[in-house]
Amino acid sequence: MIVYDHKKIERRWREQWARARLYQPRIATPRVGSAAVSGEIATPRGKPSNNSLRRGKPYYNLMMFPYPSAEGLHVGNMYAFTGSDVWGRYMRMRGFDVFEPIGLDGFGIHSENYAIKVGQHPALQAKKSQENFYRQLGAIGNGFAWENRLETYNPEYYRWTQWIFVQLFKAGLAYRQEAPVNWCPSCKTVLADEQVLQKEVQKVQKVQEVQEVRKEILRLSGGSRTTRSAQDDNADLKSVSASSSEEGKEDTNVQRMQKETVGVCERCETPVEIRKLKQWFFRITQYADRLLENLAKIDWDEKVKAAQRNWIGKKAGIVIKYQIANSKNESDYIECFTTRPDTNFGATFIVIAPEHPLLQKILRYAQDDKQKKQIQDYLAKSLKKTAQERQQEGTKKTGVFTGFYAVNQVNNESLPIWISDFVLMGVGTGAVVGVPGHDKRDFEFAQAVRLPVKRVVVGPDGDRSEITKISQVQEEAGTMVNSGFLDGMEIQKAITAMMDYLEKKRWGERTFTYHLRDWLISRQRYWGPPIPMIYCKECASKGLSWFTSDEASQIQANSKHQALNSKQNLNSNAQKSKDLGFRIWDLEFPASMAGWWPVAEEDLPVKLPYVEDYQPRGEGKAPLEKAGKEFLEVKCPGCGARARRETDVSDTFLDSAWYFLRYPSIGGDKGNKGDKGDEGKELPWQPEVTRRWLPVDMYIGGAEHSVLHLLYSRFLWMALYDMGYFDFSASNGARLPDGQGPALGWEEPFTKFRAHGLIIKDGAKMSKSKGNVVTPDEYIEKFGADTLRMYLMFLGPLRQGGDFRDTGIAGMYRFLEKVWRMYTEPSEYSEDSEDLKVRRSEDQKVGGSDSPNLRLSGSLSNPSFPRLKYIGIKTTPELKRKLNWAVKRATDGMEHLKYNTAIAAVMELTNKWRQTRNEVQEVQKVQEVQKGNQISDIINHKSYRQSTEGMESMEGIGGKGRTGSPSSASSPSSAGRSSSDHGVLSYEDAGRVLKLLAPFAPHMAEELWQRLQSTKSTRGTRGTRGTRSTKSTESMEGMESIHTQAWPRYEEDALKSEMVTVVVQVNGRVRATIEIKNEKLKMKNSREEVVEEAKRNQKVVPWLEGKEIRKTIWVPGKLINFVVG
RNA sequence: GCCGCGGUGGUGAAAUUGGCAAACACGCAGGUCUCAAAAACCUGUGAGCCUCAUAAGCUCUUGUGGGUUCAACUCCCACCCGCGGCACCA
C-alpha cells in the first residue's frame, strides 16, 4: 500500500500548480488570435474543452493582506486565509475565473515598531519579513495569483499611493490644518480618531473623590430634599458619617467599584494625549451621508455595518440661535445643537466649551476683572488637561460663569452662560443648552454649580414634583408641562412641533450632526510614503498655491467632480468646510493652503530616502527632517523658487485603502506599470482590467477593521469614482453571477463582505505576552497543510472562529489517512471470477472505442490496472443516495460559509462508504469459501439478492435504485455486487467525493484525483482527453486539475429513498416511526392509508386506547400527529 | 445608556421552511488484535427513572420566565448572562 506522505505530495503539487499557472486567471479580455492568453495553459490550445472552466466569468476573491510586523503568521491568520481560499476554490469549481491575490501591507507603524524592537532598519527588516511571510503563505497551499503580488513599501506601489494623495488634493479633499490631534507619546506620532481605543482601567479613588461619590449616594438615598449649599452638604455628611457604623465598608466598596475609561493607542495601549499640530486631512466627512446610506444596499455582515453606522453617528436635531442678552450686535449669538428642542421651556443655562470662539469676545467685553480672572484660570486649567484627564473625571462637573446671559426666545427668559470642559468643541456646535430636568448630565452640572432645575415633562411614573434627585430626571418618555403651546403633547410630537415653530420664527434650523471626523493622514514617522507635497515660502507670501494655478482653474472649468459640485451632496459638514475657509464645490481659494503645491504626477514616486536615524523624535518633527538637502530642497512647481518638501509620511491605512485596485493591473505583459487612461495620462490601474475585475466580489477579513480600513476604502473608492476614474457604465454587469450589476451603480468597492472569527488557543486568547501564539509551521511540518486546513475549517462556522486544540488536529489527520487508504488500498481479492474473465475478453475486443458499455464493464486488459479495495465499477444505490445527500449538504455549507457542515457531510459519506464496503466483504468471504459448489446458497443469501436487484435498475445519478427492504443502517441491505465488483463506489463517484474535499485538502484531492484519472485513462474509458501517461501524477502536462473541475451537482430525485420514514406522534410526542413506500405518497388516498397504518401500529395503540382523536395532522412524507383528549 | 452578535451534552458544534434535539468530530469508557504498548478496528457515551437483568419503556433537557401552535432551538413578549461597537454625543 502507498503511504500518505503529505510532505512529498504537498510540495509536488504546489510546484505543479505554479508551473501550470493554475491560479492565474485570465486577467485581460481575450484577444482574438492571441495564442498565449494568461491562464489558458492547462487546456490544450485551440481545442475548446467542455470540461474546462477557465473561460468562466471573472470573480474577484479578496482576503485582507497581512501586515508583516511580527515574527510571522500564526494559526489565526492561517484560519482566515484558508477560509477565504476555500471560498475561492469553491467559486472556481462553480465555473468562475477566480482571482485571489496576495500581498503585504508592509509600510507603516506596525512594521516600523517591530523593526525598532529588533533593532533592525525597517527597510532591511522588510526584506526578511517578506521572505518569511511569502514562505508561510506558500506553505498553506492557497490558490494565490502569485504573479500579481504587491508590497506597499515597493516604490512602484507607493508611487500610486502618492498619486492618489495628489488627486485628492486637487479635488479639494485633502487639506492642511492645525487641529487638536491624538498624540501617542510612546509611538511619538499622531493617531486618527479611529486608532484611539477606549480602554477600561481599574482605578483606586482618592479620598476626595470618594467623598464626592458618598455625597451622591446620600442624595440618591433621599437624604436631601432641595438644592442646598455645599456647607449644608458637608454638615449633612458629617452627621451621617458619625452615626453610620458602616462607614468603612462603604468606603472600600466605593473604591472597588471605581472604573474609568481612557483613550489609548491602538498599537501600544499608551494613554493618548492631545496636541495641536498642523496636519493633512482627508475630507471623509463630505461623504458621511453616502457612506451611511449605501450601507443599506450592500451585502455585508450586519455586525460591520452596525459598527460603521455607529462610527458615522448621524443624528437629527436642530441648531438654535440664542442672542446674547446685553449685546446689541445681532451677530452676537450662541448656536446650540440639540436633539430635544421640546424641552426648551425647561432650559435654565447655556454651557460652552473652553475652546469656544465666543470666549475671545467674552474676555474682551468682560467688565469685572475678578470674573475675568476666574474665567482665565478655568480656561488655563482645562485647556491644559488632556482628553484623557477630562474623561477620567467622569461625571464630576466643574465650571465657571461668564457673567453673560443669552435669551431663550421661546419664553424670553435669561440663560446664564457658563463654561465647562464637559462640553466638547468637536461635538455639535461646542455649546449646549442646559435642561437639567430632563438630561442627566445637565442635571449633574446644575447640581455641581447650583443652577435651578425646571420640570417640563411628566413621565410615565406620573411624578409632577420638583426634580431634586437624578433618578427623577426623565429623559425618555412623557407629556409636556409648563411649556406653553407644547403642553399636553407627547414628547415625540412636541419635538416636531417645536422644530417647526423655531424654523418658522427663524430662530433655529434643522440639521444633523455626525460623529465622523475627517481622516487625519499625516504621520511623523519614517516608514511610510512621503506625502507628495511641496511648500514654497515665496508663493505663500503672495498667497499663491496650486489652487491659483492654471491647472486648477482648468479643472474647475470642466470639472469631472460632478458629485462634489452638486448641491445634493452638501450636508451639515458644509458648515465645517466654511470654517476652514473654503468650499470644495467651487474650489474657492483656501487660505490655509497658501504656498502648497503637489508634486507633479510624472515626478512620482517621491522615494523614501534612506535615513540612518529613522526613530521618531517626538515634538511633531518627522524623521525625514534629517533626510538631507537632496531630499528636502526642491524647486517650487509654481514659481521655481527654492522650496521644501513635506516631511510627514502618510497613514498606513492609505496604503491599504486602495490595494485591491492595484492587484489585477500588476504582472502580465504590463509588468508593474500602470496604463494610459482615457486622456493619455498614466493611471495606477489599467482601465480595461479594472472594468473587468472590479468591484471586488467577495471580501473576507477581520472584524477589527470594521471602521478603519473598510470605511477608508469605501471613501477612497467613492472619491475616485466621483472624479471619473472608473467608468463602469459601458461594462460588464454581465460578469456578475446573475447577470446583474451591483444595485449601487458601482459606487461601492466590495460587493460582499464577511468577517471571519478569531482563533483562540485552549480557551484563551492568543497573545505574545501569554506566550501561547501557535505558528502553523510546526503543524504543517507534522501533519501537512491539508490536515491543518481541514481541522481549522471544521472547528465551526467561519464567522465564528474557534478554539485550537492539539488533540483535534490529530483526529483530522486520522480522517485524511482513512480517505487516503480508500483511494489507494488494493483489493485483497486477486482472483477473477468466471464472470469477470468473460467480460475482460469482451473488453479487449472492443478496444478503445467510445462504447458506453465500457463504463459499465471496465477494461482490465492492462495488467497495471490497480484493483482497489474501495473503488469499483458501480456504486450501490444506497451509497448513491448518500452521495447525493452529501453533495447537497456540502454545497449548502459552502454557500453559507459553514464549512464545518460541508466537511461533516463528507465524513458521513466516507463512513458510509467504508461501512458498506465492510458489509460487502462479508458476502465476499462467504462466496470465497463456498465458491463453485454452493452457489445456490449465495444466491439465496438475502443481502446478495437485494443488492443485485438494486444494481439492475441503477444507472448514473438519479437512477431509480431500490433496496427492496427497509433501509436501516444495521442491515446489510446495501451490499454491492459480489466479487466481480471490487468496491462499492464507482470511479466517477469516487471522483465526486474528491471534488467535495478539494477546497479543503487541495493537495491530497489533486493527488488522488490524478491517480484516479490515470487509472481511467489506462483503462481506455471515456473521459480521456489527449494522451495521458501513467506518470501523470508526476506532471500536470495534459492533465486537468481537480481544482478546475465542476463542483458536483445533486439531483433532488436521487435523494429520495424507496422507503420513507414517517414519525407518528400522539399529542406532539413521538411514539413510533413507520416505514412506507415512497410511491404510496403519490397515491390519492395516501393520507388515509398511512393514518390507518399508524393507528394500527403496536406502539401507538396504547396511547390512543380509550381516547377520542380530536385532530389528525398530516405532514406528507414526514409526520402524523394525533391530538387526543 | 444605545446599537449589533451570541447563549444547545464533558468539549467544538449540527438541526434546510415551525415537524424525530444533539448529526459530524474531540474526549472518555469498554472490547478486538498484541508478550506488551502504540497504531488500526469495533461498541458505547445528554440527564434521570423503571427493571434482578436483558429487551423495551417512561420522564426531563436548547440561558430564565411567560405566550402563540397539533407541534417551538426555531416565531412573539419580558428578563438574565457573555462578546463586540459607540458614548459627558448635547
Using one digit for the tens of pLDDT, what is the confidence trace for A405-444?
999 999 889 999 999 988 988 788 889 999 999 998 999 9
For residue A400, the cross-strand partners are A419
Distance of C1' in B69 from CA in A798, Å: 34
What are the tens digits of pLDDT across the range A235-254?
Answer: 222 222 222 222 222 233 33
Nucleotide at minimal C1' distance from the A428 CA: B90
Statement: residue A1077 has pLDDT above 70: yes
DSSP H/E element including A61: strand A58-63
Which has the closest alpha carbon to A272: A197, A203, A371, A161?
Answer: A197
Q: CA–C1' distance A1096–B24 (Å)? A: 36
pLDDT band, very low/low/confident/very high, at A394 (cuts 50, 70, 90): low
Mean pLDDT along residues A758-764: 81
Which DSSP state fits A160? H
Total residues found in chain A within this entry: 1125
Between CA A254 and CA A212 the distance in angstroms is 11
List the single protein residue with the shortest CA to C1' distance from B26.
A808
Could you count the other beta carbons within 10 Å of the beta carbon of residue A1014?
19
**pLDDT for A910-949, tens place per residue?**
998 888 887 777 766 666 665 544 444 444 443 433 333 3
Where does residue A209 rank: exposed (0-12), middle (13-18), buried (19+ CB within 10 A)? middle
Q: Which nt sits closest to A430, CA to C1'?
A: B90
At residue A203, the pLDDT reads: 41
Name the nucleotide nearest A1118; use CA and C1'. Answer: B19
CA–C1' A797–B15 (A): 14
- The predicted complex's ipTM stands at 0.94
Nearest to A514 by CA among A719, A316, A306, A709: A316
Which nucleotide's C1' sits nearest to the alpha carbon of A1061? B20
- Do you find a cis peptide bond into A695, omega within 30 degrees of 0? yes
Q: How far is CA A360 from the centre of its chain?
A: 47
Q: How far apart are the first and last CA of chain A?
A: 65
User: Which nucleotide, over all strands, has the C1' atom closest to the CA of A817?
Assistant: B40
Which pLDDT value is given to residue A744?
Answer: 56
Q: So what's the pLDDT on residue A660?
A: 96
- Residue A21 phi/psi, 5° resolution? 50, 45
Return the SS3 of A220. Answer: helix
Distance A658 CA to B61 C1' (A): 52
A150-151 and A103-104 strand pairing:
parallel
How far is Cα A184 from Cα A186, in angstroms, rounded to an integer? 5
For A290-347, give the secondary structure using H, E and C: HHHHHHHHCEECHHHHHHHHHHHCCEEEEEEEEEECCCCCCCCEEEEEECCHHHHHHC
Residue A614 CA distance to nucleotide B4 C1' (Å): 42
Pairing of strands A174-184, A871-872: unpaired
Task: Note the pLDDT tens digit of each residue in A642-692.
Answer: 999 999 999 999 999 999 999 999 865 444 455 555 555 688 988 888 888
List the beta strands (DSSP E) in A420-503: 431-434, 457-458, 479-480
Q: Which residue has the higher pLDDT, A887 or A30?
A: A887
The CA–C1' separation of A662 and B68, in angstroms, is: 55
In the complex, which nucleotide's C1' lies nearest to the CA atom of residue A441? Answer: B88
What span, in angstroms and rounded, lies between the C-alpha atoms of A906 and A790? 11
> Is residue A698 scored above 70 in pLDDT?
yes
**Which of the pair, A400 or A35, is modelled with greater confidence?**
A400
Pairing relationship of beta strands A196-202 and A97-99 according to DSSP bridges: unpaired
Task: Give the residue whose CA sits closest to B13 at C1'.
Answer: A796
C-alpha cell at A69: 510586523
Q: Are A909 and A1071 in contact (CB under 8 A)?
A: no
Q: Which residues pair with A322 in a beta bridge?
A: A334
Q: Are strands A1119-1124 and A1059-1066 parallel, antiparallel or unpaired?
A: parallel
Distance of C1' in B24 from CA in A911, Å: 10
Express as a percent the part of chain A with pLDDT over 70.
Answer: 72
Asked if A912 contacts A969 with a C-beta cutoff of 8 angstroms, the reply is: no
CB count in 10 Å sphere of residue A835: 12
Distance CA(A249)–CA(A457), nearest Å, equals 38
How many separate helices (H) and strands (E) can be counted in chain A?
39, 39
Strand partners, A338: A318
- Nearest residue to A522 via CA among A222, A874, A280: A280
Residue A1055 or A52, more confident: A1055
| Type and span of the H or E element at A273 | strand A273-282
Nearest nucleotide by C1' position to the A315 CA atom = B89
Q: What is the mean pLDDT of residues A208-228?
A: 32
- Cβ neighbors of A481 (< 8 A, separation 6 or more) are A455, A456, A457, A458, A464, A487
Secondary structure (H, E, C), A382-407: HHHCCHHHHHHCCCCCCCEEEEEEEE
Give the closest residue to B69 (Cα–C1′): A1068
C-alpha closest to that of A236 among A216, A210, A255: A216
What type of residue sits at position A1008?
A: L
Q: Which residues pair with A1115 in a beta bridge?
A: A1119
When mean pLDDT is compared over A9-18, A465-474, A1068-1077, the highest value belongs to A9-18
Burial of residue A677 (number of CB atoms within 10 Å: 0-12, 13-18, 19+): middle
What pLDDT shows up at residue A854? 28
d(CA A916, CA A635): 82
From the centroid of its chain, how far is CA A441?
A: 36
Q: Report d(CA A1022, CA A1031) in Å as an integer.
A: 19
A780, amino acid identity: I
Confidence of residue A539 (pLDDT cuts 50, 70, 90): very high
Structure-block grid coordinates of residue A621: 518633527
Q: Is A607 helix (H, G, I), strand (E, B) or coil?
A: coil
Find which nucleotide's C1' atom is closest to A803's CA: B12
Instruction: Supply the mean pLDDT for chain A.
Output: 75
Reported confidence tier of residue A168, pLDDT bands at 50, 70, 90 = very high
CA dihedral A151, A157, A159, A162 (to 10 degrees): -80
Shortest CA–C1' contact from A196: which nucleotide? Answer: B86
Measure, in angstroms, how far nucleotide B85 C1' is from residue A456 CA.
34
Residue A426 DSSP symbol:
T
- All cell numbers assigned to A802: 474557534
Total Cβ atoms within 10 A of residue A817: 15
- In whole angstroms, B31 C1' to A556 CA is 86
CA A355 from centre of chain: 38
> Could you identify the residue whose CA is nearest to the C1' atom of nucleotide B23?
A904
pLDDT at residue A1122 above 60?
A: yes
Q: Would you say residue A92 has pLDDT above 90?
A: yes
Q: Please give the pLDDT value at position A392.
A: 57
pLDDT tens, A294-304? 998 888 998 99
- Name the burial class of residue A754, with classes exposed (0-12), middle (13-18) and buried (19+) by CB atoms within 10 angstroms of its CB: buried
> Could you tell me the distance in Å between the CA of residue A1074 and the C1' of nucleotide B62?
27
The residue to which cell 474577484 is assigned: A60
Q: Which residue is nearest to nucleotide B6 (CA to C1')?
A: A800
CA–C1' gap, A1099 and B56, in angstroms: 11
In angstroms, the CA of A908 and the C1' of B23 are apart by 9
Nearest nt by C1' to A918 Cα: B41
Give A411 CA → B73 C1' in Å. Answer: 58
Instruction: Look at residue A925 in the predicted model and tell me its pLDDT.
Output: 65
Mean pLDDT to the nearest integer, A727-738 = 52
Those nucleotides of strand B lying less than 7 Å from any protein Cβ are: 2-5, 11-16, 19-21, 23-27, 39-42, 57-59, 70-72, 84-90
What does the alpha-carbon distance between residue A364 and residue A361 come to, in Å, rounded to a whole number? Answer: 5
Task: Say what the pLDDT of residue A1008 is.
Answer: 93
**CA triple A32-A35-A36, angle to 5 deg:** 115
Q: Which residue has the higher pLDDT, A729 or A325?
A: A325
For range A229-233, the mean pLDDT:
27
Measure the CA–CA gap between A264 and A587, rounded to whole angstroms.
Answer: 37
Separation of alpha carbons A1015 and A51, rounded Å: 19
> CA(A703)–C1'(B8) in Å?
26
Nearest to A473 by CA among A486, A458, A484: A458
Helix, strand, or coil (residue A104):
strand
Q: Which of A969, A970, A967, A926 is nearest to A944 (CA)?
A: A926
Cα dihedral A367→A370→A374→A379 (10° resolution): 50
- Is the model more confident about A848 or about A126? A126
How many whole angstroms separate alpha carbon A523 and alpha carbon A530? 9
Coil, helix or strand for A921? helix
The nucleotide whose C1' lies nearest the CA of A796 is: B13
CA–C1' gap, A892 and B73, in angstroms: 20
Contact between residue A91 and residue A98 where contact means Cβ atoms under 8 Å apart:
yes
Closest-CA residue to A447 (of A463, A436, A458): A436
Interatomic CA distance for residues A1078 and A416, integer angstroms: 85
Provide, in whole angstroms, the distance separating residue A910's CA from nucleotide B29's C1'.
Answer: 26
User: Going edge to edge, which strands form the sheet with A1109-1115?
Assistant: A1069-1077, A1059-1066, A1119-1124, A1109-1115
**Strand, coil or helix: what is A479?**
strand
CA distance A569 to A518: 16
- Which nucleotide's C1' atom has the smallest distance to the CA of A261? B87
